[in-house]
């Protein structure tokens, strides 16, 4: 069973008469890259601020790394966050900023700072003041500050806002490496859904302060009918061949077509496999919807229901 790193149960938050979050529940499991999606003002930042105790929780329950909000002892030490803007001091160099963070956390390992600077690709900028870094470099310095104490859990609010395409790809790769190499569980909010799709393993969609959907990437792909459509002359034989080759889930749609759900980058291999059995393959077509399409359709349905 998956271990929950963050559990949010029935959390509501009001600002005066304004209901920013309503009875919101979600779970982030160890190893997830959990993508939080929602339009401007949906409540993502409000939720992130509640999680790390920047804002007081009055209704509902938040459990972070086994401790309840309001009674955190170790949970915040094990959590890194970039919420709103990165925490670097503009007049300090990259090295000075990280030295300060190390002191604040009582970290004395001599190689940790240089390793972290290298991890985010800022070695050449070690002695450059934060205010002289480009936006992308400043974002990476913010990330370095957040990950220096090697947190188990990382919260990132719109970390790629304003970055150029190359900067976005670099940042996405850093997030993926943190997750695979350092096993960091990550909660990330972003409006750039095509990027979020590429990095996240689960998604939560917030709309007007409600969580309207939580789903895994596989469920999203299934809902979007992401998969491979194969058209052949002998559907029976093709089905047996795929079965024997270990393809577990596929459906025979009619006399000629087989549907393999989820993305299959190995179309060449599948083609070869079928052709080697004397099957004529007339088409192998990858079909894909997008997270953006899924999200806009869901929001439109939701708004219609409540119109
Ligand atoms: N301190 C506050 N006082 C009053 N209203 C607030 C406060 N903080 C947030 N809000 C309101 O709560 C709603 C949710 O804001 P929040 O910043 O969480 O949205 P968001 O999903 O992060 O949006 P964005 O994508 O624009 O960052 C907004 O309507 C905002 O104006």
| Per-residue pLDDT tens digits of the chain, which is 307 residues long | 679 999 999 999 999 999 999 999 999 999 999 999 998 888 999 999 999 999 999 899 999 999 999 888 899 999 999 997 667 999 999 999 999 999 988 888 879 999 999 999 999 999 999 999 998 899 999 999 999 999 999 999 998 888 888 889 989 999 999 999 999 999 999 988 888 999 999 999 999 999 999 999 988 887 887 788 899 999 999 999 999 999 888 888 889 999 887 777 788 999 999 999 999 999 999 877 788 888 888 888 888 777 6
The CATH number for 4-216, chosen from 3.40.190.10, 3.40.50.300, 1.10.10.970, 3.40.50.150, is: 3.40.50.300
The ligand 1 site (C-beta within 6 Å) comprises 15, 18, 20, 38, 40-46
Q: If you measure from the C-alpha of residue 59 to the centroid of ligand 1, how many angstroms do you get, rounded to a whole number?
A: 17
What pLDDT digit, counting tens, does each position of 127-144 carry? 999 999 998 899 999 999
> pTM of the prediction?
0.81
Q: If you measure from the C-alpha of residue 274 to the centroid of ligand 1, how many angstroms do you get, rounded to a whole number?
A: 54
Q: Which two tokens stand for residue 106?
A: 């009582």
Q: If you measure from the C-alpha of residue 39 to the centroid of ligand 1, how many angstroms do you get, rounded to a whole number?
A: 11
Quick check: helix, strand or coil at residue 248?
coil
Place of tokens 């529940």: 25
Q: Kindly list the distances between the CA atom of residue 83 and the CA atoms of 139, 187, 277, in Å, as whole numbers in the listed order.
A: 11, 11, 56
Q: If you measure from the C-alpha of residue 56 to the centroid of ligand 1, how many angstroms do you get, rounded to a whole number?
A: 15
Pocket perturbation via mutation, ligand 1, pick of 12, 39, 46, 299 by most ligand atoms within 8 A of CB: 46
198 touches 192 (CB < 8 A): no
pLDDT at 164: 86
82 touches 142 (CB < 8 A): yes
Sequence spans of domains, the chain: 4-216, 226-288
Q: If you measure from the C-alpha of residue 46 to the centroid of ligand 1, how many angstroms do you get, rounded to a whole number?
A: 6
Query: What are the beta bridge partners of residue 206?
Result: 211
Closest-lying ligand 1 atom to the alpha carbon of residue 49: 18
Please tell me the residue having the least CA distance from ligand 1 atom 16: 43
pLDDT at 86: 66
Pocket perturbation via mutation, ligand 1, pick of 14, 35, 44 by most ligand atoms within 8 A of CB: 44
pLDDT at 176: 94
Q: Which two tokens stand for residue 109?
A: 């390992």
pLDDT at 252: 87
Quick check: helix, strand or coil at residue 181?
helix
Closest-lying ligand 1 atom to the alpha carbon of residue 16: 4
Please tell me the residue having the least CA distance from ligand 1 atom 26: 40
pLDDT at 1: 61
pLDDT at 199: 92
pLDDT at 162: 80
CATH architecture of 226-288: 2-Layer Sandwich (3.30)
Closest-lying ligand 1 atom to the alpha carbon of residue 206: 21
Q: If you measure from the C-alpha of residue 20 to the centroid of ligand 1, how many angstroms do you get, rounded to a whole number?
A: 7
What pLDDT digit, counting tens, does each position of 87-99 carry? 799 999 999 999 9
């Amino acid at each position: 069973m998956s271990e929950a790193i963050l559990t949010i149960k029935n959390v509501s938050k009001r600002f005066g008469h304004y209901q920013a979050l309503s009875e919101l529940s979600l779970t982030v499991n160890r190893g997830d890259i959990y993508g939080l999606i929602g339009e401007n003002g949906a409540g993502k930042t409000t939720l992130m601020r509640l999680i790390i105790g920047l804002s007081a929780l009055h209704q509902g329950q938040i459990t972070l790394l086994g401790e309840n909000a309001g009674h955190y002892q170790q949970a915040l030490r094990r959590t890194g966050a970039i919420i709103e803007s990165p925490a670097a001091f503009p007049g300090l160099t990259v090295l000075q900023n990280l030295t300060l963070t190390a002191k604040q956390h009582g970290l004395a390992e001599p190689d940790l700072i240089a390793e972290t600077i290298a991890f985010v690709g800022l070695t050449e900028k070690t002695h450059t003041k934060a205010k002289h870094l480009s936006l992308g470099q400043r974002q990476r310095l913010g990330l370095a500050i957040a990950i220096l104490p090697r947190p188990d859990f990382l919260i990132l609010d719109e970390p790629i806002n304003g970055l150029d395409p190359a900067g976005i790809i670099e940042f996405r790769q850093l997030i993926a490496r943190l997750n695979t190499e350092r096993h960091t569980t990550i909660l990330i909010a972003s409006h750039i859904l095509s990027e979020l799709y590429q990095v996240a393993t689960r998604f939560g969609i917030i709309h007007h302060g409600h969580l309207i959907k939580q789903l895994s990437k596989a469920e999203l792909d299934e809902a979007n009918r992401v998969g491979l459509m194969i058209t052949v002359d002998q559907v029976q034989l093709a089905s047996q061949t795929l079965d024997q080759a270990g393809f577990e889930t596929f459906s025979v749609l009619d006399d000629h077509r087989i549907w393999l759900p989820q993305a299959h980058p190995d179309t060449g291999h599948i083609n070869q496999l079928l052709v080697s059995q004397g099957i004529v393959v007339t088409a192998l077509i990858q079909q894909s919807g997008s997270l953006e399409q899924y999200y806009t359709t869901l929001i439109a349905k939701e708004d219609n229901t409540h119109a």
